[in-house]
């Protein structure tokens, strides 16, 4: 019989001392609670993903010192956590097993993911040996993240005598992954009749969000416990007579898809701002739905004191846009101000008039309005130490419906992986919690308001047609003909795909943003800018 505690924490990449302190604090508490085995997630000491930090010898030396610092504190208890570790001058993604003050064993990850956001073969060598550790005469088979997604691997550690399957994970959130994980682990439990401990980290790291949602399976009555999503959490339980015995602990209810996405965006925003030490955020509030949703997410992530919105009207800004931006700020209790860009625009126009002489007014003047707003926001950012959150969505990024150094100016893009259709759904969802987004913002046709009576649909198809085309081409790699076969107009499909391909250069210059889809613009989808291939 053993008493186990799974720790779902939010380690910070590069903060070796801070992450070590988290281990030590939980370790001291676990000893008081009579825990036999304490378990943390993948690469815990370094944070995940550490990227090229693991190429630095001084970084790896600090990791080694931390392991040696923790080791004597494990007298009377067993501890497992993840860390980058060198052996014979070869770097591995390792699980460190400490017991009774000693380094009892190490396990090296055998299946290294190298797709989408994962790039582990750049850094780590492949482990070659299964490891079964022993705690109170119970045999536990070790695995790290991707390992457990291989049924062949699980077969082998069962054959090696694992009574419990333990997985240390750092698995980023996507809209489909949580459900897939639960389904896979339940199938394993049904097939092998072995309890499973799956410990995932929680928190935001650059564009990635780790949802936690750790799982403990192994009781026929309750089947499994799931830890909180998008929060730090822990779970203590007993292993006795081939089963886990859960104490009086609640398992998270099955979440709603929109709720999960919204929480991911809030956590990703919160951790990016706070972990990077910004004083708060500034948002250009246009009275439109994208800036409204971005503002509400920032408010929920950081609190009203840390969010400032700026309305920057011009000749084409509707009165209702000014009114709705003000009402949104009032509903949230955030600081809101108005700075006209008219004089700035006229000054730029005067300076450029000689160069523009004889040329017709066109999108140049429209984009100049957006760039005046970008300059204003960045000046405030410099002066106040606040991060500018851009408000563009995935649909706009896909087809280049944005202005470089204008509405793309900023440090973090909350909605970068959120389609326009999903923006509306999330806004409606958030209003079910508390009605803070004025309904008129949700109901109005979207517009950049850079020209008289301008609407998005002047340049783009309706979003209910545009977004499925983007999803099929960008996320699912469907061909033009496959998309047309789904009932879409050929001329429209070819135009949209041409825009997607052409605007790669814009996307490369836009700020990073939170990934929620199975394939985002960025690490997931890496297309050359200079590219003569046409589908």
Distance CA 63, CA 70 (A): 11
Distance CA 334, CA 304 (A): 5
* 145 and 169 together in one domain: yes
The DSSP-derived string for 181-193 is HHHHHHHHHHHH-
Domain final residue, candidates 245, 278, 312: 245
Q: Is residue 529, in this structure, part of any structural domain at all?
A: no
Q: Is residue 378, in this structure, part of any structural domain at all?
A: yes
What CATH number has the domain bearing residue 434?
3.40.50.620
Other Cβ atoms less than 10 A from the Cβ of 153: the count is 17
Distance CA 260, CA 516 (A): 10
* 490 and 437 together in one domain: yes
Tell me whether the omega of the peptide bond preceding residue 303 falls within 30 degrees of 0, making it cis.
no
* Distance in Å from the first CA to the final CA of the chain: 60
* 34 and 164 together in one domain: yes
Q: Specify the pLDDT at position 448.
A: 73
* 219 and 267 together in one domain: no
Distance CA 493, CA 466 (A): 9
Assess contact for 126 and 94: CB atoms under 8 A: no
- For the record, the structure tokens of 465 come out as 């047609």
How many angstroms separate the Cα of 261 from the Cα of each of 41, 397, 408, 468? Answer: 22, 19, 23, 19
Assess contact for 436 and 296: CB atoms under 8 A: yes
Q: Specify the pLDDT at position 117.
A: 81
* 307 and 161 together in one domain: no
Distance CA 477, CA 421 (A): 20
Domain final residue, candidates 245, 273, 291: 245
Assess contact for 165 and 195: CB atoms under 8 A: yes
Q: Specify the pLDDT at position 415.
A: 97
Domain final residue, candidates 245, 280, 299: 245
Assess contact for 64 and 57: CB atoms under 8 A: no
Q: Specify the pLDDT at position 249.
A: 61
* 185 and 268 together in one domain: no
Distance CA 161, CA 141 (A): 8
* 379 and 230 together in one domain: no
Query: Is this model's pTM higher than 0.75 or not?
Result: yes
Count helices and strands in the chain by DSSP H and E runs: 16, 20
- For the record, the structure tokens of 448 come out as 């950049």
Distance CA 409, CA 371 (A): 8
The dihedrals phi and psi of 277, each to the nearest 5 degrees, come to 75, 25
* 187 and 275 together in one domain: no
Q: Give me the number of domains the chain comprises.
A: 2
How many angstroms separate the Cα of 408 from the Cα of each of 46, 150, 339, 416? Answer: 32, 41, 19, 11
Distance CA 465, CA 478 (A): 16
Q: Is residue 194, in this structure, part of any structural domain at all?
A: yes
Distance CA 81, CA 5 (A): 12
Identify the DSSP state of 464: H
pLDDT digits over 204-238, tens only? 999 999 999 999 998 776 778 899 999 999 999 98
Handedness of CA 113, 118, 120, 121 (dihedral sign): positive
Question: Could you tell me whether strands 90-99 and 78-87 are parallel, antiparallel, or unpaired per DSSP bridges?
Answer: antiparallel
28-60 burial by CB neighbour count: b if 16+ within 10 A, else e? eebeeeebbbbbbbbbbbbbbbbeebbeeeebb
Task: Tell me the Cα Rg of the chain.
Answer: 26
Distance CA 359, CA 377 (A): 29
* 127 and 223 together in one domain: yes
Q: Is residue 135, in this structure, part of any structural domain at all?
A: yes
* 232 and 282 together in one domain: no
Among 493, 467, 470, 471, which Cα is nearest to 481's? Answer: 493
Active site residues: 42, 109, 145
Cα–chain center distance at 130:
31
Q: Specify the pLDDT at position 252.
A: 63
Other Cβ atoms less than 10 A from the Cβ of 76: the count is 12
* 110 and 233 together in one domain: yes
What CATH number has the domain bearing residue 212?
3.60.110.10
Q: Structural domain of residue 16, as residue ranges?
A: 2-245
Q: Specify the pLDDT at position 221.
A: 67
pLDDT digits over 280-320, tens only? 999 999 999 999 999 999 999 999 999 999 999 999 989 99
Under-50 pLDDT residues of the chain: none
Q: Is residue 353, in this structure, part of any structural domain at all?
A: yes
Identify the DSSP state of 227: P
* 20 and 112 together in one domain: yes
Assess contact for 232 and 246: CB atoms under 8 A: no
Q: Specify the pLDDT at position 241.
A: 85
Assess contact for 470 and 493: CB atoms under 8 A: no
Among 97, 92, 121, 123, which Cα is nearest to 109's? Answer: 92
């Amino acid at each position: 019989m053993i008493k186990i505690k799974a720790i779902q924490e939010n380690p910070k990449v590069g903060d070796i001392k801070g992450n070590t302190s988290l281990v030590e604090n939980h370790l001291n508490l676990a000893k008081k609670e009579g825990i036999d085995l304490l378990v943390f997630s993948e690469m815990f000491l370094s944070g995940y993903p550490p990227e090229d930090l693991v190429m630095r010898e001084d970084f790896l030396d600090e990791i080694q010192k931390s392991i040696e610092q923790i080791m004597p504190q494990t007298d009377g208890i067993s501890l497992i956590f993840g860390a980058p570790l060198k052996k014979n001058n070869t770097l591995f993604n390792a699980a460190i097993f400490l017991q009774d003050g000693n380094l009892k064993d190490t396990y090296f990850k055998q299946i290294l993911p190298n797709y989408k956001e994962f790039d582990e073969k750049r850094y780590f060598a492949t482990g070659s040996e299964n490891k079964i550790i022993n705690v109170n005469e119970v045999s536990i088979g070790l695995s790290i993240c991707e390992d457990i997604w291989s049924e062949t691997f699980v077969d082998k550690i069962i054959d090696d005598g694992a009574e419990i399957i333990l997985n240390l994970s750092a698995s980023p959130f996507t809209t489909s992954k949580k459900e897939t994980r639960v389904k896979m682990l339940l199938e394993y439990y049904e097939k092998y009749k072995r309890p499973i401990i799956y410990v995932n980290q929680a928190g935001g790291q650059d564009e990635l969000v780790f949802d936690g949602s750790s799982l403990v399976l192994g009781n026929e009555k309750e089947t499994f416990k799931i830890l909180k999503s998008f929060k730090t959490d822990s779970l203590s339980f007993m292993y006795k007579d081939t089963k886990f015995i859960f104490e009086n602990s609640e398992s998270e209810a099955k979440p709603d898809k929109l709720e999960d996405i919204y929480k991911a965006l809030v956590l990703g925003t919160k951790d990016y701002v706070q972990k990077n030490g910004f004083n708060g955020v500034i948002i250009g509030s246009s009275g439109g739905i994208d800036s409204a949703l971005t503002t509400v997410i920032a408010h929920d992530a950081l609190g009203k004191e840390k969010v400032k919105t700026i309305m920057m009207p011009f000749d084409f800004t509707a009165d209702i846009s000014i009114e709705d931006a003000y009402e949104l700020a009032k509903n949230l209790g955030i600081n809101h101000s108005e700075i006209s860009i008219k004089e700035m625009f006229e000054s730029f126009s005067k300076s450029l008039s000689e160069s523009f002489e004889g040329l017709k007014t066109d999108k140049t003047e429209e984009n100049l309005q957006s760039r005046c707003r970008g300059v204003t926001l960045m000046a405030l950012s410099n002066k106040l130490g606040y991060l500018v959150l851009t408000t563009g969505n995935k649909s706009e990024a896909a087809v280049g419906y944005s202005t470089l150094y204008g509405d793309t100016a900023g440090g973090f893009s909350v909605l970068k992986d959120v389609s326009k259709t999903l923006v509306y759904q999330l806004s409606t969802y958030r209003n079910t919690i508390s009605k803070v987004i004025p309904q008129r913002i949700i109901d109005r046709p979207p517009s950049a308001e850079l020209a008289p009576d301008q609407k998005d649909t002047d340049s783009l198809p309706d979003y209910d047609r545009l977004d499925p085309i983007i999803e099929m081409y960008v996320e699912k790699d469907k061909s033009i003909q496959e998309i047309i076969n789904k009932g879409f107009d050929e001329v429209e499909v070819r135009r949209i795909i041409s825009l997607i391909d052409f605007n790669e250069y814009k996307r490369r210059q836009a700020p990073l943003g939170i990934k929620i889809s199975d394939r985002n613009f960025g690490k997931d989808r890496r297309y050359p800018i200079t590219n003569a291939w046409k589908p």
